[in-house]
Chain A
Amino acid sequence: MAELKPSAASRRPLSPHLQIYKPMLTMMMSIAHRITGAALFLGTLLLAWWLLAAASGPTAYGKFQAVMESWIGLLVLFGYTWALIHHMLGGVRHLIWDTGRGFGPAEREWLTLATLIGSIGLTLILWIVGFLVTGGA
């Protein structure tokens, strides 16, 4: 292929990409859906560790619990909870969109905001209930 002169290359029109659009909630939540999905992908390592530790015995399980009860472990678990719930609610929103419903300007904003508020709210409720049940242990 023939080399293009720099001037010719720079005059080529580029298709618009992310940086040209005004950030919108639906767009941010679409990105969040993919990021939470990827995070949950890696998070299954914790799930596998948990189940294998339970299957291995009290020593392995104690090690898992000690890590998860440290502040960094709790932080990861908190993030995991939010990512799981957010991805699930986002998935429900996409399923609604798949049926062709909810695409109106007001509806799509409302749906998107609802998944965000819902995921944060549910995560906080779950953790408060969890702390009440276990007595903060």
Chain B
Amino acid sequence: MSKQQSMRNPLARVRYLGSAKSGTKHFWHQRVSSVALVPLTIAFVLIVVGLMGRNHAAAAQILGSPFVAIVMILFVVTSTYHMWLGMQVIIEDYIHSESKLTWLMLNTFFCATIALCCVYAILKLSFGV
């Protein structure tokens, strides 16, 4: 440790610094998305229960109605972001070889593809193209 003290206050050093150069962003985004997911998950479960046993025409109509579609898109986008962050931690915890980078990339591709598939399907049901 050098005797010379930094003129920066500790918070300024923490912000956007650290080895990953992103500070507490990952931690914080996981918390924000988890808070959002509590009501969204409850809404999602209720939508699924409401659609159980219905035929295609009824399910497609309900899923495409504005309120349900918006809640579903919010749920899908928030959960794919949340699981992208979560799986990143799992990969970083257990994979220490060079393949870590590949797994992190696959995680990103998987989450982005799932998000796009779901949003595309919901929008298609909404606009009926």
Which chain B positions have C-beta within 8 A of A37? Answer: 83, 86-87, 90
| Structural contact, B87 and A41, CB atoms closer than 8 A | yes
| Structural contact, B56 and A54, CB atoms closer than 8 A | yes
Q: How many residues in A have their beta carbons less than 8 Å from beta carbons of B? A: 33
| Structural contact, B79 and A126, CB atoms closer than 8 A | no
A29 on the B face (CB < 8 A): no
Per the 8 Å Cβ criterion, residues 4-43 of A in contact with B are: 34, 37-38, 40-41
Per the 8 Å Cβ criterion, residues 38-60 of B in contact with A are: 38, 41-42, 45, 49, 52-53, 55-57, 59-60
Query: Dominant SS at the A interface?
Result: helix
Query: Dominant SS at the B interface?
Result: helix
Given A47-B118, A88-B38, decide whether A58 and B56 contact each other with a Cβ distance below 8 A: yes
Per the 8 Å Cβ criterion, residues 49-76 of B in contact with A are: 49, 52-53, 55-57, 59-60, 63, 72, 76
| Structural contact, B76 and A47, CB atoms closer than 8 A | yes
| Structural contact, A58 and B83, CB atoms closer than 8 A | no
The 4 closest A-B pairs by CB, nearest first: A134-B53, A51-B121, A55-B121, A61-B56
Q: Which A residues form the contact surface with B (CB < 8 A)?
A: 34, 37-38, 40-41, 44-45, 47-48, 51-52, 54-55, 57-58, 61-62, 81, 84-85, 88, 91-92, 94-95, 98, 126, 129-130, 133-135, 137
24 CB-based A-B contacts, threshold 8 Å: A34-B90, A37-B86, A38-B90, A40-B83, A41-B87, A44-B114, A51-B118, A52-B118, A52-B121, A54-B125, A55-B121, A55-B124, A55-B125, A57-B56, A61-B55, A61-B59, A61-B60, A88-B37, A91-B37, A98-B31, A126-B45, A126-B49, A133-B53, A135-B53
